[in-house]
Amino acid sequence: MAYFFRTGPTTFRASPHVGGAWRTDEQHVAPALGLLAHVVETDRVARGRDDLAVSRLAYDIWGVFPLGDVETQVGVVRPGRGVELVEATLWCGGRCAVALRAWLVRTRDTADLAGGAPNPVPGPDETPPWDPATIWPGGFIDSVEVRRTAIEPGRATVWVRTDVPLVADEEVGPLARTAGLLDAANGMAVRADPREVAFPNVDLTAHLFRAPLGGWVGLDTSVVFGPAGAGVTHSTLHDEAGPFGTLAQALVVRTLAAPEGAPTGA
């Protein structure tokens, strides 16, 4: 079973594998982010722009949305021979749920200039398995394989992958498959118990200095909670060849009400 099934030229149906972590009757946003990256890539190929590669994915998450049918839209906001800005949106129930703006740049050989990447982290074979279901519920969490080295609360090195196709019976490239796992960063290096503190992200921005390979995605992650209800999750992105970019997520931090009948302290 895939995360999404195409039902029309621009419409898809989410499977139970997309079930959320904060609420299992809502969609986990991670597969939706991958779907929008896939839409951008598909549009790029359809327009004959194989000379362009994505260098930034900037998502704004407009709100929660239920499991079910979604519709996508894509268009070029700023055309150009060497640089393009493309916008893609995902709609559910007649309202926008996620918006993506992606910068695409013309590919060229700069291997003799390459340098400055951070050091690689220990690979997935050197990182112990970890079950995220010990913290999180939901179909998406059940669909991923995770390896993790926890350093301290809010600090961990994580590898994540899935064998669930992003879209059923459809070729999906490494970028979209990778993008469909990036939102896991905020939940794999938790600073606080999500049963006591909510810290959902309202955006996700990834900057890429090379194309990811697909497969295992490494997240060298730090989570910071500020003193006034905001937080940031920051990750250096890796695949099995080494680092390929960075990621940041803006968090809304709030304590959750204690269950009825629970002790509230002095």
Give the model's pLDDT for residue 4: 98
Residue 263 lies in a domain: no
Residue 98: which CATH number? 2.40.160.210
Check residue 257 and give its pLDDT.
79
For residue 65, tell me if it sits in a domain: yes
The mean pLDDT of 177-182, rounded to a whole number, is 98
The total number of structural domains in the chain stands at 1
Q: What are the start-end ranges of the E strands in 79-171? A: 83-92, 95-106, 129-130, 144-152, 155-162
Residue 263 has pLDDT above 80, yes or no: no
Residue 57 lies in a domain: yes
Instruction: Measure CA 228 to chain center.
Output: 25
The answer as to whether 84 is a domain residue is: yes
Predicted local confidence at residue 265, as pLDDT: 32
Cα distances (Å, whole numbers) of residue 36 to 64, 124, 152, 188, 232: 16, 27, 33, 23, 23
Q: Report helix, strand and coil shares of the chain as percent, to nearest 5.
A: 20, 45, 40
Residue 51, in any domain of the structure: yes
Instruction: Give the C-alpha separation, 173 to 43, whole Å.
Output: 13
Residues 6+ apart with CB under 8 A from 33: 57, 59, 98, 100, 179, 180, 182, 183, 204
Using the Cα atoms of residue 46, residue 49, residue 53 and residue 55 in order, give the sign of their dihedral.
Answer: negative
Calculate the alpha carbon distances from 127 to 36, 163, 219, 246 in Å: 30, 19, 12, 20
Instruction: Determine the pLDDT at residue 45.
Output: 95
- What is the per-residue burial (b if ≥16 Cβ within 10 Å, else e) of 42-63? bbbeeeebeebbbbebbbebbe
Residue-range definition of the domain harbouring residue 220? 4-107+124-255
Cα 218 versus chain centre, distance:
12
Residue 219 scores a pLDDT above 60: yes
Mean pLDDT is lowest, of 2-16, 49-63, 251-265, for 251-265
Most distant pair of Cα atoms in the chain: their distance:
66
Q: Is residue 266 situated within a structural domain?
A: no
Q: Is residue 265 part of a domain?
A: no
Q: What is the mean pLDDT of residues 232-259?
A: 94
pLDDT of residue 157: 98
Q: What was the pLDDT predicted at 266?
A: 24
Residue 236 maps to a domain: yes
Q: Is the pLDDT of residue 107 over 80?
A: yes
Report the pLDDT averaged over residues 70-77: 98
> Is 80 exceeded by the pLDDT of residue 162?
yes
Confidence band of 258 (pLDDT split at 50, 70, 90):
low
